Structure 1
């Protein structure tokens, strides 16, 4: 995409000449004749470089420069003046101008300064841009393989995605994975928790507001939609949004444009929406708490995230991952986990899902003095057995039952993974086919 050049000069002939010059070079140009107009169009046009005259009617060029740099410190402002002085040039530079050009100027001079700024800006972005790191989705269960396949198919598109699942299942992680595998990966990923923002503030958070739009609006504020322009906006817990706000969100999705609170100007936005909810939105629709039209707008591509209790075979991989992560972050010598302790983890109910598992692993790693984390290190107040009774670290009957539950779930998962083929499942588990048949009979597992 070509760089965008905003020209600000109160002489129409200068605006026309500069517009022709930069357009002939392949840039996108927009010209205005006052500082006020430049500020008004700034967020809509999103310039990379601004050619700004010092002497303007209304607010002068230096004041306009300061306001523009407040709106976006990274924008390149090139000051122009037919009455240039050293003092003016120094002041402009101190206030954030990239360069100062005296009139009359040559076409070569203008284009050289523009190219120099764009080259420097590109190098600066490549040097300071942090590595985009997103935790992987850990697991090898059929549910996780299917989820990963869905992400791979969905990510390259611009289709809106609705992720539904219990708290702690990793909905934001999935949203980030979709963003990072998409064509928008180089642009922002902006997340907002709709349940955590008061009703009277969420409109301002999403769409921004003008100075003086309401009590406490002391300055202009850009909203999440503008911040996410070109990228992805993640609306977490969208089911908690009020019906009034849902109507406003629906209009933005239909028009692909926002209007700041207290403003009249419409600002186009190019944003991919990924929404998430720990509630079933269709249930909310039936209850009259969620707009049906908005539901269908958001759920172009629905993704259901399974709770941890439905993919217990992933717990060893998750536990090992979190164990290594905590050791590295806390500077703790590498730890391992005993088979008995792992069996107990796999038999727990995990109402808090992966988030709860991570917290438990962190607690055990920090609190245990042992290199091998065992049954005695498991916090009994956090782990619940399938029956709902607290696991006892000293009760051998519970430990045996936990092992049996783990083995039964493990076998069932492998059978699903192998399409109920006993021979393949036995090979995958590293046991004899006859032995597997005995286990199937023992646990009452039917193919």
Structure 2
């Protein structure tokens, strides 16, 4: 039976003719919300119904921010011109012309619900915050964050560039007792050496040429909360001594001031460099290293969590939908395979940028490999390794099960897997079908 968590219907400004259908859906297990357009973002939904009028820009903003499968109701007097047709084709799963045919609309809702289930996957595997993914590496990372968040000890976050080290720091802060206090981040490698001491510790008016007024430093601004020092390995040696003194004493001095200021912060630091090697090379203070490396979290590179790519692509497609003014696209099977075969030297940051590009360039309903700037699958090049052949066999088995059965339950049974596993396999391979939808 389909989970009720994936049978949520949002109806915007419903007309009275819809009430019989909405009552029937409620009795059959749907969770139905009715609200005006102004409150539409308050209700998460998997399927939505909205009647179109003249305010298309307002509707577009809603659709870009709510990832439901939307169905448009078109008044019979509304002229379906080329612009309106493109708008519906871009943003809606289907449309229905008034007056209502409740049987036909019910069928459309069934198909939309099935598509929502495929796109969203298992609701019990929803990502926490922006830490998207259900790979073993991500599950272990979330468990470790939950353990370390409640302490006040420093945490060193290690990992390659683009693996989400700042997201881990934000999650540690969000789950800590300091969550209601400031989270202040500073990239130690992005600030000129002559300015970084002022940025960290602040300065008094007249402390140096150009200091026209008092400046509160980042450490002081984080008082009571969390200070995140990104790329700590790039901090100049002379500033490392000042930072060490603060960690030992819990006090700072603004430049040009001799009065110490007590500051209570939790320090999180991140680096992509080998700090142990930097200590040996005398580029990083050993005593500061041990002060920062009390607890440690490693962020996995994307090549070690390729199974998270479908979830990440959907996350970024939704994130950039408003920016590019288009409905979030799904990757085609060829695009998904190309992403699985790519090395991802830029990790998640590179994936986000490629999805952003794909959202702009995609011409059809799916993002293709060329939209992402990636080569097509190994099938076209004729160079497949064992993993590639296993993926192709898996995809072929799914296609045959879908073709020769009439329901998802039968297809899963034919393959000897559970329905949730069957849906995850469909998501893994980016497969979309017109298989019979589950009954309402």
| Range of TM-score over shorter length | 0.5 to 0.7
Which residue does the alignment assign to 1:287? 281
Match for residue 307 of structure 1 among 301, 304, 309? 301
1:181-222 CA distances to partner (integer Å, 9 max, x unpaired)? 111111100000000111121111111011111111111111
Q: Note closer, same or farther for the CA distance 1:148–1:400 as it changes in structure 2 (3 Å cut).
A: same
CA contact (8 A) 1:375 1:393 kept: no
Note closer, same or farther for the CA distance 1:191–1:405 as it changes in structure 2 (3 Å cut).
farther
Q: CA deviation at 1:279?
A: 0.6
- The 1:220–1:391 alpha-carbon spacing in structure 2 relative to 1, beyond 3 Å, is same
Assess if the C-alpha contact under 8 Å between 2:224 and 2:265 holds in 1: yes
Matches within 5 A, 1:28-427: 135-380=129-374, 395-398=380-383, 403-404=388-389
Taking CA–CA contacts closer than 8 Å with sequence separation of 6 or more, which of the two structures ends up with the larger relative contact order? 2
Q: State whether residues 207 and 225 of structure 1, in contact with CA within 8 Å, keep that contact through their aligned partners in structure 2.
A: yes
Q: Distance in 2 between matches of 1:327 and 1:401?
A: 36
- SS at 1:200 equivalent: helix
For structure 1, the 5+ residue unaligned runs are: 1-133, 381-389, 411-422, 432-447
Report the CA distance shift for 1:153/1:312 in structure 2 as closer, same or farther (over 3 A): same
- In structure 1, distance between residues paired with 2:142 and 2:235: 29
> Which protein is bigger by CA-based radius of gyration?
1
Aligned equivalent of 2:114:
none
CA distance in 1, matches of 2:315, 2:355: 10
Contact 2:158/2:271 (CA < 8 Å) preserved in 1?
Answer: yes
Give the whole-Å Cα distance in 2 for the aligned partners of 1:163 and 1:406: 34
CA 1:424 to 1:245, structure 2 compared with 1: closer, same or farther past 3 Å? farther
- The RMSD of aligned alpha carbons is 2.9
Change beyond 3 A, Cα 1:406–1:324? farther
Distance 1:341 1:238, change over 3 A: same
* Matched positions, count: 277
CA displacement, residues 318-340 of structure 1 (integer Å, 9 cap, x when unaligned): 11111222224433124222112
The superposition leaves residues 7-48 of structure 1 with CA deviations (integer Å, 9 ceiling, x where unpaired) of xxxxxxxxxxxxxxxxxxxxxxxxxxxxxxxxxxxxxxxxxx
Deviation, structure 1 residue 407: 6.9
CA separation of 1:194 and 1:409: change in aligned 2, threshold 3 A: farther
2:382 aligned counterpart, secondary structure: helix
On the 8 A contact 2:369/2:376 being kept in 1, the answer is no
Deviation at 1:375, TM superposition (A): 3.2
Residues 430 and 326 (structure 1 numbering): CA distance in 2 closer, same or farther, change over 3 Å? closer
Partner Cα distance (2:267, 2:252) in 1: 14
Task: Name structure 2 gaps, 5 residues minimum.
Answer: 1-127, 396-415, 425-440
1:249 CA displacement: 0.4
TM-score by length of 1: 0.58
Distance, in Å, in 2 between the alignment partners of 1:304 and 1:425 is: 33
Moved >6 Å (runs of 4+): 399-402, 407-410, 423-427
C-alpha distance in structure 1 between counterparts of 2:189 and 2:352, whole Å: 23
Larger mean Cα displacement after TM superposition, 267-276 or 326-335: 326-335
**What secondary structure, in the 3-state scheme, does the structure 1 residue paired with 2:219 have?**
helix
Helix, strand or coil at the partner of 1:361: helix
The 1:427/1:266 distance shift into structure 2, 3 A limit, reads: closer
TM-score calculated relative to the size of structure 2: 0.58
CA distance in 2, matches of 1:426, 1:400: 29
List per-residue Cα deviations over 1:84-111 (Å, max 9, x = no partner).
xxxxxxxxxxxxxxxxxxxxxxxxxxxx
